[in-house]
Structure 1
Amino acid sequence: MTPPDPPGAHVTEKPGGVRTITGASTSVPAFLGYTRVSPKDDPHAAVASYTDAERRTPRLVRGWREFVVRYSMEGLTQERAEVTTPKDRNALERCFTLAEAVYGFFANGGQSCYVVGFTDPTKPVTAAALAGGAVDRTGLGGLVTEPGVSMVAVPNLWEMTRAVPTAEDPVAVNPADGKVLIEAVLKHCTEMGNRLALVDPPPGLLPGAVETFANGQLAAPTTDDAAFTALYYPWVAVPGIEGRRRTVPPCGHMAGVWARTDAERGVFRAPANEAPRGVLEIPVLLTDEEQGALNAVGVNCLRAFPGRGLLVWGARTRSTTRDCKYLSVRRLVCFLRDSIEQSSRWAVFEPNDERLWGALRHAVSTFLMDQWRQGALVGRTPEEAFHVVCDESNNPREKRDAGEVHCDIGVAPVRPAEFVHFGIAQIAGQPGK
């Protein structure tokens, strides 16, 4: 029977059956730190702030204003002006540490982040509490079910090592006290395999002490944990979200620089030689010799250069292994792994034959070809930049009988030009013209 359509040409779209791979998220950090519900909240506000229970689980924040409302920052600012005891002031100041990190992230180009709160700023946080649990979604355990997270930072880490000080000028922290907390963060990142930890050294350290801290309190450079560690120094002075100048850990601003570099250039570009926004100054001005020693142990420095201002002047992980030495390489591999894994789940339970292998080869090769064209992979030709093997050679009958399909992928990631050398020679005896 003729369909009841008017005469003319009719076009019907049909799926082509071609599988594609979509790039995974690379620019979403998770911040863990002290927060609390302010008693000044307006119960009739259009957008309610989070409760204590909600703040203890990961919450996606899509902008600074949303953070201010959801985490009662306006009420907290007013409350701080009204407290009278040093203990109460110090407790509220701990909440501002987390807020400054979140602000620094958005000020430097970040678009969204997760926040996991610890709602009693008067108490220390144990390694077990920081690790949390996947069931109740607290602490780092709550981030296990958030695949979009690509960075983890704990701005309050050094304050978490002890109860809130009762004196106006608290004594300096002990670098050894933070080791178990840092180890909990690195364990989470290493096990997840798709996110890096942005670690801050204790406040007030001189360059030599930072080198000692890196070598003594962080994972050894040859371990897997070191490959997922980014250490930045020194802390930075900021104008303060409420107009009160303070010195804060650099992790929030650095997470924003990472996100900005990803958006402007790509994850394969080292997040360095960039100016961190919202920073007034740094308390330690490093010499070339001091940075050379720190760079050798994987400490990324912030430097002030005459005529150029403040710049991020380092792009290393803590690892000394060739494949994981640079942040851009480690993050690119995480990006490629996540993208391929997340976009290949359609293959589960498909018939394990040449058609499936061909579809996987095509999808992965097309994705890597795009990365090569963008400059993420090095090589004069695609064959030099990557290879994809998914055929009978790596899927013999015994593997197929076990329900397995294997796709072996090799890539040649581009590495940053960390040291640029120029050879200059004077040529004498040239005839004048």
Structure 2
Amino acid sequence: MPITPTYPGVYIEEIPSGVRTITGVATSITAFIGRTRRGPVDEPITLNSYSDFERVFGGLWLQSTVSFAIRDFYLNGGSQAIVVRLQEGGATAQLTVPRATAPSTLALVAANEGAWGDNLRGRVDHDVSADMATLLGVAETDLFNLTVLDVQTGALEEFRNLTVVDSPRRVDQVLADRSSLVRVASLPVPATRPDANDADLLADAGNPDPAIATPALEELQKPPFSSDIRSNGVAPGDEGDDGAPLSEPNFIGPGKATAKEGLYALLKTDLFNLLCLPPYSPITDIDSGLITAAASFCEEQRAMLILDPPADWSSKEDAKAGINAGVGTTSRNAAIFFPRLRQPHPLRSNQVDSFVPCGAIAGIFARTDAQRGVWKAPAGLEATLNGVPDLSVKLTDAENGELNPLGVNCLRSFPGVGRVVWGSRTLQGADRLASEWKYIPVRRLTLFLEESLYRGTQWVVFEPNDEPLWAQIRLNVGAFMNNLFRQGAFQGTTPREAYFVKCDSETTTQNDIDRGIVNIIVGFAPLKPAEFVIIKFQQIAGEIAT
């Protein structure tokens, strides 16, 4: 604000420089959607490690293809993942504490659907604080403590000084806010606090006699869990259910987009760059209709879709026939990788089994972005597949040469190197399409620029639309592009050859100004991967003496 001089002297005024730094967005946040053992349903959860996945979603599970994809993602350099759990027809386990035969009990349910809730146990005690009762304005006889144990994972939650009376410590509100294991089954809550049951959570259900030896937690973690060791636990008939395998309607069924469920649960997130949709089950591929919808969704969200080869692509001929018949999309924002991976199955005594490659590929995308930048093709000798001892189909150079011109990215095995990604084309990368979006790094760099500039120019809205604003736009966008040029993101030896930013009276006419529009034109010269290296040799003829 300008200073109004009122007295003789020196006045200090700070003048805005007009510099508004544009920060590049993340490039490898990967979204996974599928069936997991446990966790919130239709809610995107951000994870930063595989241990986060184990804690929230239960880790590897035979019925969950997405769990193995996430494992491969982190094995191959992935950093941040967004996981959306879907389920079909599951049920939550019911837990009554302390005992169903007690005069006053509290009915609880597992926090979410699945048979994992069968391993829950609860205990109530009345070792409460009189001071807390006074602070809450309730009687001491209204307070109780609740302890909940998941005997499979060892997760233990303890909630002290709960009450059934309306107060900040009312049991249903505290559990909904703080517990990841249980919720109150129904409202209103009971009129009186539940009776105490101070028995050990691991005590023998069939024999409450304290003289009976208590099973060790390690033993309780060994399935199956027999009914005679489920003291204070889920009664027969109240068990949870994992439900049925997923199908296309679970992802894009009627009303899913409006409710932001299924595939569209990702609308609740701020940003994702890659999308992986592993098969519905270990024996069922995803439908082409879902691929079409997912590719369209990725185009809207400026993300890339990583597709897995169908299970019946067991040879080069199958892959050629399959890609020629169509996989559900030819989007510039999608890419497919062939063949599948052969890895030891940790839940089947390490017998070698086939797994989809999308998680490992997304991890390599993330690793390459961190080491070299989004403009580097995530392929080549550096793009090694960690934790992959073999591939389901071994391709030769000639076979690779048949698939590459069709837009199928091959995974290869080379002596001394191991398994690597040996292709970097989008589904518009077929030679016959002659698309400008042929290569994955070109498309991903463009998406990165679009998202970064979209977020970095929000300050322009409602600013006076004239030359001072245009100059600020050129300054800030130009600084962002120049920083990328110095990192090697563009072709050219000088900034003039690498990019341009134009925003002036030529791009924004008086008619545009009258309509409230400012036009910014940004051009760049992308780097194309050296897909074919040709070395020419020639013999040197000996000199002829004269």
TM category (shorter chain) comes to 0.7 to 0.9
Deviations 1:137-185 (A, max 9, x none): 322212134242001111124x3xxxx9xxxxx6xx6x7x721121121
Deviations 1:172-231 (A, max 9, x none): x6x7x7211211211211222x1110001112421111122122133565xxx2x11110
- What is the identity, as a one-letter code, of the residue corresponding to 1:234? P
Which of 358, 373, 381 lines up with 1:266 in the alignment?
373
Q: TM-score, normalised on structure 2? A: 0.64
Contact kept, 8 Å, 2:502 with 2:520, in 1: the verdict is yes
The residue number in structure 2 matching 1:27 is: 28
Instruction: Compute the displacement of 1:307 (Å).
Output: 2.3
Query: Whole-Å Cα distance in 2 between the matches of residues 430 and 127 of structure 1?
Result: 77
The residue number in structure 2 matching 1:198 is: 306
Query: Whole-Å Cα distance in 1 between the matches of residues 252 and 46 of structure 2?
Result: 19
The residue number in structure 2 matching 1:40 is: none
Contact kept, 8 Å, 1:58 with 1:138, in 2: the verdict is no
The residue number in structure 2 matching 1:136 is: 259
> Partner of 2:436: helix, strand, or coil?
helix
Higher strand fraction: Structure 1 or Structure 2? 2
Contact kept, 8 Å, 2:407 with 2:425, in 1: the verdict is yes
Q: Give yes or no for the alignment of 1:110 onto 2:233.
A: no
Query: Whole-Å Cα distance in 1 between the matches of residues 459 and 469 of structure 2?
Result: 10
Equivalent positions of 1:153-192 (< 5 A) are 153-157=276-280, 159=281, 178-192=287-301
Query: Whole-Å Cα distance in 2 between the matches of residues 357 and 241 of structure 1?
Result: 59
Equivalent positions of 1:34-433 (< 5 A) are 34-37=35-38, 50=39, 54-73=40-59, 93-95=62-64, 97-120=65-88, 122-127=244-249, 129-130=251-252, 133-157=256-280, 159=281, 178-192=287-301, 194-205=302-313, 206-218=315-327, 221=330, 225=331, 227-242=332-347, 244=350, 245-273=352-380, 274-319=383-428, 320-429=433-542
- What is the identity, as a one-letter code, of the residue corresponding to 2:354? T
Percent of residue pairs identical: 36
Q: TM-score, normalised on structure 1? A: 0.80
Contact kept, 8 Å, 2:312 with 2:318, in 1: the verdict is no
Query: Whole-Å Cα distance in 2 between the matches of residues 313 and 60 of structure 1?
Result: 30
Q: How many residues align?
A: 370
Query: Whole-Å Cα distance in 2 between the matches of residues 229 and 33 of structure 1?
Result: 19
**Residue 395 to residue 204, structure 1, CA distance change in 2 (3 Å):** same
Query: Whole-Å Cα distance in 2 between the matches of residues 178 and 356 of structure 1?
Result: 49
Which structure 1 residue ranges, 5 or more long, are not aligned? Answer: 1-10, 38-49, 78-91, 165-169
Contact kept, 8 Å, 2:87 with 2:250, in 1: the verdict is no
Contact kept, 8 Å, 2:342 with 2:389, in 1: the verdict is yes
**Residue 275 to residue 404, structure 1, CA distance change in 2 (3 Å):** same
Instruction: Compute the displacement of 1:62 (Å).
Output: 1.0
- What is the identity, as a one-letter code, of the residue corresponding to 1:271? P
Contact kept, 8 Å, 1:201 with 1:213, in 2: the verdict is no
- What is the identity, as a one-letter code, of the residue corresponding to 2:390? E
Instruction: Compute the displacement of 1:29 (Å).
Output: 0.8
**Residue 210 to residue 13, structure 1, CA distance change in 2 (3 Å):** farther
Contact kept, 8 Å, 1:100 with 1:240, in 2: the verdict is no
- What is the identity, as a one-letter code, of the residue corresponding to 2:400? Q
- What is the identity, as a one-letter code, of the residue corresponding to 1:313? W
What RMSD, in angstroms, separates the aligned Cα atoms of the two structures?
2.4
Deviations 1:17-46 (A, max 9, x none): 411110011111101111133xxxxxxxxx
**Residue 127 to residue 217, structure 1, CA distance change in 2 (3 Å):** farther
Query: Whole-Å Cα distance in 1 between the matches of residues 395 and 14 of structure 2?
Result: 62
- What is the identity, as a one-letter code, of the residue corresponding to 2:63? R
Contact kept, 8 Å, 1:26 with 1:148, in 2: the verdict is no
> Partner of 2:259: helix, strand, or coil?
coil
Which structure 2 residue ranges, 5 or more long, are not aligned? Answer: 1-11, 89-242
> Partner of 1:424: helix, strand, or coil?
coil
> Partner of 2:360: helix, strand, or coil?
helix
**Residue 267 to residue 99, structure 1, CA distance change in 2 (3 Å):** same
- What is the identity, as a one-letter code, of the residue corresponding to 2:359? G
- What is the identity, as a one-letter code, of the residue corresponding to 2:244? T
Higher helix fraction: Structure 1 or Structure 2? 1
Instruction: Compute the displacement of 1:60 (Å).
Output: 0.7
